Structure 1
Amino acid sequence: MIAHRLSTVKKADKIVVMNKGQIVEQGTHDELMFSQGAYYRLVSAQQLAVGPDMSNDNDENAETECEPEQTARAVSRKSKFASRRWSTWTVKPEIKAEDGSGKYNILRCLGIIFYEHKQHWLWFLGGLTGCFIAGAIFPAQAILFSKIVTVFSHYFSEKLRERGNFWALMFFILAIGTLIGYALLAYCWTSVAFLMARVYRSEYFSAIIRQDIEFFDIPENSSGSLTARLSSDPQSFQDLMQGNLGLIIVVLVNILSSSLLSLFTGWKLSLVAIFGCLPPLFLAGFTRMRLELSSQERVSKFFHESTRFAAEAVSAIRTVASLTLEDEVIHRYAERLNGPARSAYRRTLWIMILFGLSESVDLLGIGLAFWYGGRLMSFGEYDAEQFFLVFIAVVFGGQAAGMLFGFTANLTKAHAAANKIIHLRSVQPTINFSTGCDVPYAPYGCPIIEFKNVRFAYPTRPSASVLLHCSFQVYRGQKIGLVGSSGCGKSTIISLLERFYDITSGDILINGVSISALDVQKYRSTVALVSQEPTLYKGSIRENITLGIPYGEVSDEAVEKAARDANIHTFIQSLPQGYDTDVGTKGIALSGGQRQRLAIARALIRDPSILLLDEATSALDTESERIVQDAIEVASRGRTVLAVAHRLSTIRGYDRILVFESGRVVEEGSHEELVALRGRYWNMCLGQGMDREAA
């Protein structure tokens, strides 16, 4: 068992003390305490001064405890009174992921997209020109075929050769036109697709990253699902614009031009062929497209779940390996894949039947046209050239209509993707887009932070209140410790001060002004947060420190000052590349204490007026904790500090300590006052005490 809190290994059969990769001591707790070596010094560093006689109730101390006890009891009475006050509030409905995949039809989506990129009108014009040229190729072929048939029936010998050469030349010219048309549409649509996809990838990511924190609390919006959507949705849209949209326009031009040509040449045969073939063909294709769209939405939801599960498994691979859960994880992942497969069987059967119908109806139309055209020729109403022109035009038109619904799979994916992108861009986050006044300076005697009867429940769990009528005040320059059992609301206080969420009822005042009335960006620029597991990004140490300043240039002097204040400048200077050293992915090249001090430097370079520490040293060993604690002492000079702590030794020197229970403050005072009270805080101190005689 590895432990940073030494109280957890006090009863172990043997304790091994290590330093810099070597064993320096080993033995039982009592043996190591008696030897007063390295283990003894570690115990002393974690020791809390609770007094030698505090473990037993002693009435003789009643008079000496009177004043601090009265202070703590006043808080207790206030809490009881607050608990009887009921604010007007309602339970908000649980937030759920909004699916915007079917909000607009495909034509509306394309209209929005083209309007937003009207500056690329030359690319659109070139692409449409290529589409019209390529689409006109088919009726032109119908004319050429009809002429070739008459050549064989009317000309012989030398005249046949002459006319054959001429129409062969026409086919060669038609081939050149086909080359120009398809090359133009491919070049223009591919170019504009890359330009538009780049913009939408950026806007999609921007829309995701700007959402409020509650957006990311929704299970459907896990990091794995959002990463998959960020990759697949813009790609589906790019595939549509790059190849499919141009070909769809070509098919539509073909159908329209072929139909008009056949109607102009012979309306009787054209009407029978068009209305006998195209309506059932379009009905089958449209039904197939609707089924594919609904199936795509269902399968997308299933696969987002499997993607989320895979992302969690890979990110926790050490846990998976340590518990030998590889086979179980693979089995669960397979189950999540089987769900979409089973649900897709029946729909796929219907889709394939409709696909076969749409592919075969044009052949039925060809048969109908040939039979009726033959009757018209037998009655002398049509000659051979007229018949073959109408017949071949109808054939090409029907085949083109069949090709049109071959694009339905890509079209439905792109339709859903475009809707999601458009929808998410239109979502205005309540908090992150809120504007208001600048942060005022607190008047003399006014608290810099004040919680007034605050009640709060997380949006994903609206019926479970985390804070219940929580009230306290913090004055400028004070250092406040927040302690209590897990789940009592300490970290929630930090989240509310960063305004990651809005409260359910009550009010939070910053310098006398409601936090909801402040400009959220300007307010957050005055606050810095150092969490238990700081996030570092791949890049140099300098880049990670300067992330604290999102805009403008940062001088080397400012970076070094922040590093000195964070007690990490000497370590950075000892590295071969100094501040240009790459920290690796998630800061893997640094130890936990070094990452924590780097996070403190990143916070200090912002020059915040309020410094929030959320268990900043709980994951560190005693030596690293001491170094980081020294850095925090320097960082807190001239600033208001609120620190969440499980190790009470880290906040015993703070001005005031707030003890939380069930979402409210139940005790308040300095370390000495709360110990003298012998209440909840005193019991917590005893629980973390190692050996009071050693103190």
Structure 2
Amino acid sequence: ALPEVGIVALMGFGGYGTATGTLTLGTLMAAITVATYMRWPADTLGWLIADASTAASAADRYWQLRDVPLAVREPAAPRPLARPVRGELRVEDVHYRLPGAGEAVLRGIDLTVRPGSTLALVGATGSGKSTLVSLLSRLDDPTHGRITLDGTDLRDLSLDALRSVVTCAFDDPVLFSGTVRDNVALGLSPEERDDARIWEALRLAHAADFVAALPDQLDTRVGEEGVGLSGGQRQRLALARAVLPRPAVLVLDNALSALDVHTEREVEAALRTVMANVTTVLVAHRPATLRAADRVALIADGRVAATGTHDELMATDRRYRHLLRSPVNDLVPDGPQGPPSQDPARKVRA
């Protein structure tokens, strides 16, 4: 507004001077021309200063992330995965303590997940569920004990090999500024980015209908963190990303929490065709989801407090009944806070 006001003032002052004879018309025209020519460089300088400030902030954030030390290391001599991958997971006496924390989050977890079966983890907030599932794709490593996939310690596998067969979907989906296709097919090679496979994954996640209604469908650009999409839509895109590579192990950390009950049932019904041949570890609290699992593990105070089917635990375990019948399942923490999967950088690496 200031350049416009300046030109108007110049015309008013110059017009009065020209009318009274104290200023020539040529001088007035020269003054207005100079002011007009100088306006664009001044505007451009303002834009450059604003862009430079934004770039400086972005550079600070970029180097801040680059300087974060990696929590896991590639093995010096990675072992190859046996093919075909069966998907048998064994958690053997696993302990985990956050760096600098005095008390361990996990205190001796022992679990076996048979190939093609579904294990549901349930527990109060802070009990160690998210910490445990984050270890399955090596977002971090146990401080004691080991986790094996088909008998091979996860720490002996390269991260690329491990994360090509173990995929994750979190309760807080990570989406990037880009097209729907780029977000769903993230991490896949150009040869694997087949539109037919992408649409199949979207149908399994019950995301095909709303993607088909977008202006450019798969080529529609979504903003950072899925700006412009609802929470349920973002979560379904993240779920489609997890099932697209056809993994041997699927890890779902409250991945259906943003869906309404009706949509959740539809997604679960569609996922059963995938989960029938995939080893699935999921964190859930809704009885319908737990009832569909082959086995349920109750995590309390960083340990496995009880295992069995949903009906068995409802009949035999008071803590399990209390947790599921409580109006809010996750009110009372019974362990240290801060599981590794809450770190956005960890989710991006997954």
- TM-score (norm: length of structure 2): 0.70
1:438 aligns with 2:80: yes
Instruction: Find 1:494's aligned residue among 126, 133, 137.
Output: 133
Aligned to 2:249: 610
1:619 alignment partner, SS class: coil
Alpha-carbon distance, 1:430 to partner: 4.5
Instruction: Find 1:457's aligned residue among 97, 108, 111.
Output: 97
Instruction: Find 1:667's aligned residue among 306, 309, 312.
Output: 306
The one-letter amino acid of 1:479's match is T
Alpha-carbon displacement from aligned partner over 1:559-584 (angstroms, at most 9, x marks no partner): 22222222222322233322112222
1:487 alignment partner, SS class: coil
Instruction: Find 2:105's aligned residue among 450, 466, 476.
Output: 466
Equivalents in 2 of 1:542, 1:443: separation in Å? 27
Structure of greater Rg? 1
Equivalents in 1 of 2:283, 2:71: separation in Å? 28
Aligned to 1:483: 122
Equivalents in 1 of 2:312, 2:327: separation in Å? 18
The one-letter amino acid of 1:455's match is H
Aligned to 2:283: 644
2:116 alignment partner, SS class: coil
Alpha-carbon displacement from aligned partner over 1:54-87 (angstroms, at most 9, x marks no partner): xxxxxxxxxxxxxxxxxxxxxxxxxxxxxxxxxx
1:549 aligns with 2:191: no
Equivalents in 2 of 1:566, 1:607: separation in Å? 13
Alpha-carbon distance, 1:675 to partner: 1.2
Aligned to 1:448: 88
Q: In structure 2, do the counterparts of structure 1 residues 428 and 597 end up closer, same or farther at CA, with 3 Å as the change threshold? A: closer
Instruction: Find 2:204's aligned residue among 551, 559, 565.
Output: 565
Aligned to 1:589: 228
Q: In structure 2, do the counterparts of structure 1 residues 660 and 429 end up closer, same or farther at CA, with 3 Å as the change threshold? A: closer
1:525 alignment partner, SS class: helix
Equivalents in 2 of 1:226, 1:578: separation in Å? 30
Equivalents in 2 of 1:617, 1:663: separation in Å? 24
The one-letter amino acid of 1:621's match is D
Alpha-carbon distance, 1:587 to partner: 1.0
Q: In structure 2, do the counterparts of structure 1 residues 512 and 618 end up closer, same or farther at CA, with 3 Å as the change threshold? A: same
Contact 1:618 / 1:647 at 8 angstroms: preserved in 2? no
Alpha-carbon distance, 1:225 to partner: 8.9
Alpha-carbon distance, 1:606 to partner: 1.2
Q: In structure 2, do the counterparts of structure 1 residues 443 and 526 end up closer, same or farther at CA, with 3 Å as the change threshold? A: closer
Equivalents in 1 of 2:143, 2:209: separation in Å? 46
The one-letter amino acid of 1:228's match is D
2:292 alignment partner, SS class: coil
Alignment of 1:358-369 (within 5 A): none
Equivalents in 1 of 2:267, 2:231: separation in Å? 10
Q: In structure 2, do the counterparts of structure 1 residues 643 and 229 end up closer, same or farther at CA, with 3 Å as the change threshold? A: closer
Q: How many residues align?
A: 274
What are structure 1's unaligned runs of at least 5 residues? 1-223, 232-303, 309-420, 690-695
Contact 2:176 / 2:224 at 8 angstroms: preserved in 1? yes
Alignment of 1:286-435 (within 5 A): 430-432=72-74, 435=77
Q: In structure 2, do the counterparts of structure 1 residues 681 and 661 end up closer, same or farther at CA, with 3 Å as the change threshold? A: same
What are structure 2's unaligned runs of at least 5 residues? 1-55, 329-350
- Higher relative contact order by CA 8 Å / sep ≥ 6: 1 or 2? 2
Alignment of 1:83-232 (within 5 A): 227-228=59-60, 230=62
Q: In structure 2, do the counterparts of structure 1 residues 496 and 572 end up closer, same or farther at CA, with 3 Å as the change threshold? A: same
Aligned to 2:238: 599
Contact 1:548 / 1:606 at 8 angstroms: preserved in 2? no
Equivalents in 2 of 1:574, 1:226: separation in Å? 34
Alpha-carbon displacement from aligned partner over 1:514-540 (angstroms, at most 9, x marks no partner): 111122220111011010011111122
Contact 2:178 / 2:221 at 8 angstroms: preserved in 1? yes
Equivalents in 1 of 2:326, 2:71: separation in Å? 44
Contact 2:72 / 2:141 at 8 angstroms: preserved in 1? no
Equivalents in 2 of 1:582, 1:481: separation in Å? 35
1:652 alignment partner, SS class: helix
Equivalents in 2 of 1:469, 1:493: separation in Å? 11
Equivalents in 2 of 1:491, 1:428: separation in Å? 19
2:155 alignment partner, SS class: helix
Instruction: Find 1:527's aligned residue among 166, 185, 197.
Output: 166
Alpha-carbon distance, 1:626 to partner: 3.2
Equivalents in 1 of 2:166, 2:240: separation in Å? 14
Equivalents in 2 of 1:442, 1:556: separation in Å? 25
What do you get for the CA RMSD once the two structures are aligned?
Answer: 3.0
More strand by share: 2
Q: Percent identical across equivalent pairs?
A: 34
More helix by share: 1
Equivalents in 2 of 1:601, 1:668: separation in Å? 29
Equivalents in 1 of 2:71, 2:127: separation in Å? 28
Alpha-carbon distance, 1:622 to partner: 2.7
The one-letter amino acid of 2:206's match is N
Alpha-carbon distance, 1:433 to partner: 6.3
Aligned to 2:216: 577
Q: In structure 2, do the counterparts of structure 1 residues 434 and 492 end up closer, same or farther at CA, with 3 Å as the change threshold? A: farther
Q: In structure 2, do the counterparts of structure 1 residues 681 and 589 end up closer, same or farther at CA, with 3 Å as the change threshold? A: same
Equivalents in 1 of 2:306, 2:84: separation in Å? 26
The one-letter amino acid of 1:459's match is P
Alpha-carbon displacement from aligned partner over 1:612-634 (angstroms, at most 9, x marks no partner): 00011223333443344344334
Alpha-carbon distance, 1:435 to partner: 4.6
1:650 alignment partner, SS class: helix
Q: In structure 2, do the counterparts of structure 1 residues 428 and 588 end up closer, same or farther at CA, with 3 Å as the change threshold? A: closer
Contact 2:235 / 2:258 at 8 angstroms: preserved in 1? no
Aligned to 1:684: 323
Alpha-carbon displacement from aligned partner over 1:651-693 (angstroms, at most 9, x marks no partner): 221100000111111110001111111422122232259xxxx
The one-letter amino acid of 2:96's match is F
